[in-house]
Amino acid sequence: MSGIITKISGPTVVAKGMRKSGMYNLVYVGGMRLIGEVIRIEGDSATIQVYEDTYGLKMGEEIIDTGEQLCIELGPGLLSSIFDGIQRPLAEIAGEYKSFIPTGVALPSLNRSRRWHFTPTVNPGDAVEEGDIIGAIQETTSIIHRVMVPQGFRGIIKDIAETDLLIEDKVAILEDGRDIRLIQKWPVRRPRPFKKKITSHTPFITGQRIIDTLFPVASGGSVIIPGGFGTGKTVLEQTLAKFAKSDVIIYIGCGERGNEIAEVLTYFPELIDPYTGYLLMDRTVLVVNTSNMPVAAREASIYTGITIGEYYRDMGYNVAILADSISRWAEAMREISGRLEELPGEEGFPMYLASRLASFYERAGMIECTDDGNRRGSITICTAISPPGGDFSEPVTQSALRVTGAMWALDTNLARRRHFPAISWGRSFSLYQLDDWFRENVADDWPEMRRWLMSLLQKEEELQDIVQLIGPDALRDQDRIVVETGHLIRENLLQQSPYSPVDAFCPMGKQYSMLKIFSRFYEIALKELGEGRDTDEIFTMERKMILKDLKNMPGEKFPAVTEEIMNRL
């Protein structure tokens, strides 16, 4: 099928002779064979969004419709790769072409010449169906790639053996003659199917105290991280990439500044995985698009990233999707919608902004991969949002807020005071019910301790308002204890540096001990106040130093040292 270009407007092209095209079909545009996707059909003409720079494209050039949808390749070799929004392998392109991304490049996403050692886990004669695991490949030092029967296959295995395979080789043959290959294709806009979604009661542990202690998200949940300019969204996403307890990390750099992405590209491949001691990239896939790459590829990058995530989820892994920032994705949608002259909604975003956001966040979740419930996987989505002017009432934040279960709100004032992570404890929330897990796995009184901390922080905030109005002298003595303790907690518990070798990741045991120590200290302070001591005698330099040192004590020392520290107080 082919058509002829009749109009070119930036990344949007109109062609005639496209009557037989289908929505979202993948097309090659012009002599340069630029990659594009059909996004509107009217009579004989189709509108195409082009994923590459249309510079030099001319009227009358040919459009070839592949008859297929935009698909990505799934198979071993995804991990440690760096792709652009439509899964072109950036490192290979850079090696081959010595420039960033030339147009019309047709390099395969996955390496065709690498051999993988395949070990079957089923035998000839076994009955298999879609989603079943038939064998394993050690994809990287940290992850075993579980080879699955592709969608639409069901039958008896006729031939399967331990061997070294190229990605396009047959890994198994069924009795009906069909064969299964290592590589699978999947249309990115279609969520991969699963047996059943289940409610997750396990937290997505991040090692960041303010998150795990106050606003934990379920593994399989979704959270937004809205924050104004320079409030630490990127640093937080990268901290999560490094420390969150997740088997596989998909990091989507979506439309951020080129130099920020360049930093990711140089910095990520060198990171050491704190859990395995190997490279972090061994369990990471990077999908990156900068603000200067074509806008349509940015729109696709979110789908590419989550589809790769779903593939590992289906193998039974816990996957984290970290996207920075979803606002740039929404802006790409706005730009494309504008070119299509669609009726604009709020602030120029298309009317379908909210539904697109909802269908993206719906791809999070914990699922049963099999009927017998023996394999579970999850996708947790953490997306940064960049509201213009830091104003959370804008459409992207508001629409995302309605469909996600938690918000870690970054606060400009905290960031200005260099309180990092600048997560506001007043505005953030989590709707996930995880108390039972914490009770069973951390401590019986975890929920109470957490409530104690939250109420102390709230009280402190109210008192701070009074202090602002009429000065500290107006406070009652008990209130002064709250303010002083709150201050110590903010500096020594809520603040946490991703750059400190000891404090970057705080294990749950240590988080609990720290909570206990601060609450004990608060009790002591109240008691001593009752005995007539004044605040200077209570908040001594020595005690402050003890609390300050907690951060820099290795997590393994807890809870052994907890009692001793309390005694020293």
Ligand X SMILES: Nc1ncnc2c1ncn2[C@@H]1O[C@H](COP(=O)(O)OP(=O)(O)OP(=O)(O)O)[C@@H](O)[C@H]1O
| 397-426 binders of ligand X (CB under 6 A) | 420-421
Q: Which residue is nearest to ligand X (CB)?
A: 232
- Asked if 386 touches ligand X (CB under 6 A), the answer is yes
- Asked if 238 touches Mg ion (CB under 5 A), the answer is no
CB of 353: closest distance to ligand X in angstroms?
20
CB hemisphere CA count around 116 (13 angstroms): 29
- Asked if 239 touches Mg ion (CB under 5 A), the answer is no
Q: Which helix (H) or strand (E) holds 298?
A: helix 295-314
Q: Which does 386 bind (CB under 5 to 8 A by kind): Mg ion, ligand X, none?
A: ligand X
- Asked if 227 touches ligand X (CB under 6 A), the answer is yes
Distances (CA, A) of 556 to 442, 505, 513, 536, 560: 14, 12, 11, 33, 9
Strands 406-407 and 34-42: unpaired
What residues contact residue 413 under an 8 Å CB cut-off, 6+ apart? Answer: none
Q: Which does 387 bind (CB under 5 to 8 A by kind): ligand X, Mg ion, none?
A: none
The full 3-state SS of 359-371, as one line of letters, equals: HHHCCCEEEECCC
Distance between alpha carbon 184 and the CA centroid of its chain, in Å? 23
CA–CA gap between residue 214 and residue 205 (Å, rounded): 12
Q: Is 82 exposed, middle or buried (0-12, 13-18, 19+ CB in 10 A)?
A: buried
CA–CA gap between residue 122 and residue 189 (Å, rounded): 32
Q: Which does 229 bind (CB under 5 to 8 A by kind): ligand X, Mg ion, none?
A: ligand X
CA–CA gap between residue 290 and residue 294 (Å, rounded): 9
Judged by CB under 5 A, the stretch of 96-104, 230-238, 350-358, 413-421 that binds Mg ion is 230-238
Which lies closer to ligand X via its Cβ, residue 310 or residue 331? 331
CB of 97: closest distance to ligand X in angstroms?
29
Which lies closer to ligand X via its Cβ, residue 140 or residue 386? 386
Is residue 188 within 8 Å of 305, Cβ to Cβ? Answer: no
CB of 230: closest distance to ligand X in angstroms?
4
| 230-249 binders of ligand X (CB under 6 A) | 230-235
With CA atoms as reference, report the closest residue to 88 among 51, 33, 139. Answer: 51
Which lies closer to ligand X via its Cβ, residue 20 or residue 419? 419
CA–CA gap between residue 360 and residue 364 (Å, rounded): 8
Q: Which does 232 bind (CB under 5 to 8 A by kind): ligand X, Mg ion, none?
A: ligand X
Which lies closer to ligand X via its Cβ, residue 228 or residue 405? 228
Q: Is 113 exposed, middle or buried (0-12, 13-18, 19+ CB in 10 A)?
A: exposed
User: Residues touching ligand X: how many (CB under 6 A)?
Assistant: 13
Contact pick of 109, 234, 380, 511 for Mg ion (by CB under 5 A): 234
Judged by CB under 5 A, the stretch of 46-54, 89-97, 234-242, 286-294 that binds Mg ion is 234-242
With CA atoms as reference, report the closest residue to 403 among 353, 363, 362, 350. Answer: 362
- Asked if 485 touches Mg ion (CB under 5 A), the answer is no
Which lies closer to Mg ion via its Cβ, residue 234 or residue 284? 234
Judged by CB under 6 A, the stretch of 28-36, 222-230, 387-395, 460-468 that binds ligand X is 222-230
Judged by CB under 6 A, the stretch of 31-39, 224-232, 241-249, 515-523 that binds ligand X is 224-232
Interface residues with ligand X (CB under 6 A)?
227, 229-235, 386, 420-421, 497-498
